[in-house]
């Protein structure tokens, strides 16, 4: 394995102009400055059906699930920016996690190969006053239960429609630095754990 940590960055939002997509790019830049190789994943490019065990039995695992799992397995860390839907994670993100947790290619049940021993940094952007914080609590719990080491640092950007500059950076330099530092920390911890 290369000494360069590989980080997969993605958002739990499907919207083209998603503020969470902008936010995770800031963290990705932080990871790059720490020496990581970062792959950005837009779930629009990897559509998945709603998880349904009957569908899995009848048609098998969809091809995009194999692609998603290979992407996840080939990276040591995740940067995830997720909006909050009704005080929880988005259906898009939960569905991707559920599909990626399914065993493929003869893997034993509950092997969780796409998640085990990965490092994750979390962030969110929301127009509300809590910045998506309630959703991050659920996301942290989900990931922790499927063997992901979730770093304690997180950023929740409030009033997100007013928070970004036209170039995608955050107007608040301190907040910009905190998001970049999440990327740095994920890259640093992933490098140490996989070195």
102 within a domain of the structure (yes/no): yes
**Is residue 92 situated within a structural domain?**
yes
Domain total of the chain:
1
User: Which residue range is the domain that position 94 belongs to?
Assistant: 6-194
- Token readout for 25 is 């790019």
Q: Is residue 116 part of a domain?
A: yes
Contact present, 26 and 181 (Cβ < 8 Å): no
pLDDT in tens, 65-74: 999 999 999 9
User: What pLDDT sits at residue 33?
Assistant: 98
**Within-domain flag for 70:** yes
Contacts of 98 (CB under 8 A, 6+ apart): 51
Cα–Cα distance measured from residue 177 to residue 179, given in angstroms and rounded to the nearest whole number = 5
- The residues, any chain, with a CB within 8 Å of residue 24's CB and separated by 6 or more, are 9, 10, 11, 40, 79, 80, 81, 123
Is 34 domain-assigned?
yes
pLDDT tens track for 61-118? 999 999 999 999 999 999 999 999 999 999 999 999 999 999 998 899 889 999 999 9
> For residue 2, what pLDDT is reported?
61
| CA quadruple 11, 16, 19, 25: dihedral sign | positive
What's the CATH number where 135 sits? 3.40.50.360
**Domain-located, residue 76:** yes
**Is the model's pLDDT at 53 over the cut of 70?**
yes
| Residue 122 covered by a domain | yes
pLDDT band at 1 (very low <50, low <70, confident <90, very high): very low
Is 1 part of any domain?
Answer: no
Strands 77-81 and 149-157: unpaired
């Amino acid at each position: 394995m290369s000494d360069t940590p590989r980080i997969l960055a993605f958002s739990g939002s499907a919207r083209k102009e998603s503020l969470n997509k902008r936010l995770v790019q800031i963290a990705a830049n932080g990871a790059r400055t720490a020496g990581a190789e970062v792959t950005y994943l837009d779930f629009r490019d990897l559509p998945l059906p709603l998880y349904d065990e009957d569908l899995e039995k009848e048609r098998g695992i969809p091809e995009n699930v194999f692609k998603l799992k290979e992407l996840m397995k080939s990276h040591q860390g995740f940067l995830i920016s997720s909006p909050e839907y009704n005080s929880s994670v988005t259906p898009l993100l939960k569905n991707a996690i559920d599909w990626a947790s399914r065993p493929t290619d003869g893997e034993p049940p509950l092997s969780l190969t796409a998640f085990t021993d990965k490092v994750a940094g979390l962030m969110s952007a929301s127009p509300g006053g809590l910045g998506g914080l309630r959703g991050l609590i659920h996301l942290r719990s989900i990931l922790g239960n499927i063997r992901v080491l979730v770093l304690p640092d997180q950023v929740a950007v409030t009033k997100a429609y007013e928070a970004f500059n036209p170039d995608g950076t955050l107007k608040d330099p301190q907040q910009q630095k905190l998001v970049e530092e999440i990327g740095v920390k994920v890259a640093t911890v992933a490098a140490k754990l996989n070195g």
